[in-house]
A = this chain, B = another copy of it.
Amino acid sequence: MDFTISDEMQTTLTMIEEFVEKELHPIEFLFLNEPFRDLLPRIEEKRARVREMGLWAPNHPTEYGGMGLGLVEYGLISEALGGSPLGHFVFGCQAPDAGNIEILHLHGTDAQKREWLGPLVAGRIRSCFSMTEIEMPGSNPVLMETSADRNGADYVINGRKWYTTAADGAAFAIVMAVTNPDAAPHERASMIMVPTDTPGFEIVRNIAVMGEAGEDWMSHSEIVYRDCRVPRANLLGDEGRGFVIAQERLGPGRIHHCMRWLGICRRAFELLCTRAATRRIGPSRTLADKEIVQAWIAESAAEIEAARALTLQTAWRIEQYGWKQAREEISMIKFLVAGTMLRVIDRALQVHGGLGMTDDTPLAFWYRHERAARIYDGPDEAHKQSLARRILKRYR
């Protein structure tokens, strides 16, 4: 066993950490308190500098302009970026585009790649992934109601999607729709690319999530597809393969989340320690002298380090053996890291007192929006159940 990080990688990490601290921390207050679009020009400046530094799109294929890093190394970078809510966006590896890029790269036709993949990796356009429906628990495809009917050379899409992240301002959506209603449940749906300027694609509203409807990349839309017609050439992969591709996308996507969450953990932990060490509670005492706060610091440190060690081990396992060989570990870290993150955020918030409730720090932002970490891409309970069933097979 060898836990060494290479010198080269360490240098890259240090560059990124400094960039995040010096360039991104100072615009966080704006991010937390102003409309997202007002901030976009400054974000684009930052992105330009990232490209100049050669650190753009660390996880994406080199032939499309990314750094092409493996999962362990990207994991370390993702941890560094996660410390700011803007990190991944500024470095061109934000969700949901990252997942869509993977799908296009693996399943797109040459024509699709030419038209969409390049601009997407380059950060010139954005995209969204339109799967969830309000009455459909993620795990139950039988209940999907959005349909895409073949009609000549086109698909005609009808249905209502919900919680489509970052649709507002996206160039296209990857839509999941039933193309083969009579097939077996998991073979009914397909993925289809729908440019957002297609007639019949309509954003009904940006859903108010935790008090904020948001806008642009920072939003979750309810979308109606009303006789929305796109060429059959927009099909991604084969018909009826939608759920298989979605599973492939979600598997690695989960570890991407975990890595980003570890970055949030680290930053929240730093805010916790800094606050403790500086907040006066008397003439010569600070919160750091309180044993309860010390216990939170110690517990947070241990939980973060353990979650991190398992996440890196999982990333390594995926790199070595493929993600199917790491399914159990992926389920483990999905709920373990999410839980750790939320506990650390909660402790950090508590130590900040009233200040922690405000948007003067990113803690309240994470507290409310990262609560979803225990829900999206499979709630804790679903991961626990599927993990246990997989384990229990060995005992029968």
Hey, which bits of chain A sit against chain B, CB under 8 A? 1-5, 32-33, 72, 132, 134-135, 137, 139-140, 142-143, 162-163, 207-212, 270, 273-274, 276-283, 288, 290-295, 297-299, 301-303, 305-307, 309-310, 312-313, 316-317, 328-329, 331-333, 335-336, 349-350, 353-360, 364-365, 367-368, 371-372, 374-376, 379-381, 383-385, 387-389, 391-392, 394-396
Contact = CB atoms under 8 A, between A and B. Distances in A.
Given A3-B317, A395-B277, A209 B358 contact: yes
A365 B211 contact: yes
A236 to B, nearest CB: 24
A385 B302 CA distance: 13
Query: What secondary structure prevails in chain A residues at the interface with B?
Result: helix
A357 B210 contact: yes
Nearest to A333: B302
30 contacts: A1-B3, A1-B4, A1-B5, A1-B72, A3-B317, A132-B354, A140-B281, A142-B282, A162-B354, A210-B368, A211-B211, A211-B365, A276-B395, A277-B396, A288-B388, A288-B395, A294-B389, A295-B384, A298-B332, A298-B335, A301-B332, A301-B388, A302-B310, A305-B329, A350-B379, A350-B380, A353-B375, A357-B371, A357-B375, A367-B368
B208 A33 contact: yes
B137 A281 contact: yes
Given A3-B313, A298-B387, A384-B298, A277 B208 contact: no
B303 A336 contact: yes
B387 A301 contact: yes
A300 to B, nearest CB: 9
A282 B371 CA distance: 26
B392 A336 contact: no
A292 to B, nearest CB: 5
A28 to B, nearest CB: 13
Contacts of A3: 1, 313, 316-317
A175 to B, nearest CB: 18
